[in-house]
Structure 1
Amino acid sequence: MGRPRAFDETEVIKAAAELFAGRAYDGVSVDDLVTSLGVHRNSLYKVFGSKRGLYLAALRWYLAERVQPMLAGLRSGPDPAAELRDLLGGVDRHDLDLLLLAVVERAPVDEEVADLVGGVLRDLDATVAKALPGQPSDDAIAVALTATILGLRLRARAGGVPPEAGAVLLHQIQAQP
């Protein structure tokens, strides 16, 4: 009989999500995970199978616990247009980082990651389309705004972007006849 697990699996997954969101999959080694998470290498492999297994668990947790609640708030808030403005203006929103990095780094080379993030991006597009104030549902505009939201976050990670950039874009969309 093996020893009882000495760590909380959910806490390890949450901490791994933060680590991957900050440094991306390729920027985190197994040694980094062992050191940062305080989990023995053998335990990590026993529970998650591999670095990829932990990454997938972290990505699933992150999408369910961070991104989906954010989308639910955007859909059901009292003022979806204000929520959309906040999302577009939220260049400091670190809750989009793991999604952004998964889209850029892992989705092109990992079909399972591509499926996970593809579903969330479609959900984000649909949510944004419904939140467009005064606009009929327009999938092309929603996709462009989703790309803008992620692009603004990418630029913010790289050293800054004017916080009003997203709001200006939304204003221009609203002004269109």
Structure 2
Amino acid sequence: MGRPRAFDEDEAVRAAMDLFGGRAYDGVSVDDLVHHLGVHRNSLYKTFGSKRGLYLIALRRHLADDVRPLCDALAGAPDAAAVLRLVTSAELGLLLLATVERAPVDEEVAGEVTAALTAVDRAIGDALGVPADLATALTAAALGILLRGNPDTVATALSDHLGPLT
């Protein structure tokens, strides 16, 4: 009989989400995971299979815990400024890094990212009553604003200068 697991798997996945969301997949070594998660290397491999296995679990948890609630919140957005505020205030670091770093080289990650971004597009389109291509452009703009680090300034400028964008 094996020894009982000496760590909380849920806590380890959450810690991995934070680590991958802050430093990306290639910026995190197995040693970083072992140290940051507080697990032994053998336990990490036995539980998650590999660094990639843990990454996929962390990405899926991020999509479930952060992106899905964002999509639900977007349903009540009254205008584009509110959409921008919701998207740019969400914790989306892991999604953004997965989009630019892993999706181009990992089909499984690409599938997860595409599904998540499509869900955000759909939620924005439904909230604002705009066509799919415009919703996709709004998603791209909101994520770009998030990447640039000035979401409040942009949302305020939109509201002040253009009024409600519906």
Q: TM-score, normalised by structure 2?
A: 0.89
Identity of aligned residues (%): 55
**Take 2:45 and 2:29, find their aligned partners in 1: how far apart are those partners?**
13
Question: Which residue does 1:26 correspond to in 2?
Answer: 26
The partner residue of 1:163 within 136, 144, 152 is 152
CA contact (8 A) 1:97 1:153 kept: no
Question: Which residue does 1:103 correspond to in 2?
Answer: 99
**Take 2:156 and 2:78, find their aligned partners in 1: how far apart are those partners?**
11
Q: How many residues align?
A: 164
**Take 1:165 and 1:57, find their aligned partners in 2: how far apart are those partners?**
33
- 1:83-121 per-position Cα deviation (integer Å, ceiling 9, x unaligned): x53441368635111111110100000000000010011
The partner residue of 2:84 within 88, 93, 102 is 88
**Take 2:87 and 2:119, find their aligned partners in 1: how far apart are those partners?**
20
**Take 1:172 and 1:139, find their aligned partners in 2: how far apart are those partners?**
22
* Pair 1:141-2:138 in alignment: no
Q: Indicate the SS of the match to 1:174.
A: coil
- 1:118-156 per-position Cα deviation (integer Å, ceiling 9, x unaligned): 001111001011112xxx431121111110111111111
Unpaired segments ≥5 residues, structure 1: none
CA RMSD of aligned residues (A): 2.2
Q: TM-score, normalised by structure 1?
A: 0.84
Task: Give the partner amino acid of 2:27.
Answer: G
Q: Runs (4+) of structure 1 moved beyond 6 Å? A: none
Question: Which residue does 1:9 correspond to in 2?
Answer: 9
**Take 1:152 and 1:97, find their aligned partners in 2: how far apart are those partners?**
13
CA contact (8 A) 1:89 1:165 kept: no
Q: Indicate the SS of the match to 2:92.
A: helix
Task: Give the partner amino acid of 2:107.
Answer: E
Cα distance, 1:45 vs structure 2? 0.3
- 1:48-87 per-position Cα deviation (integer Å, ceiling 9, x unaligned): 0100000000001110111101211222x3xx225x5344
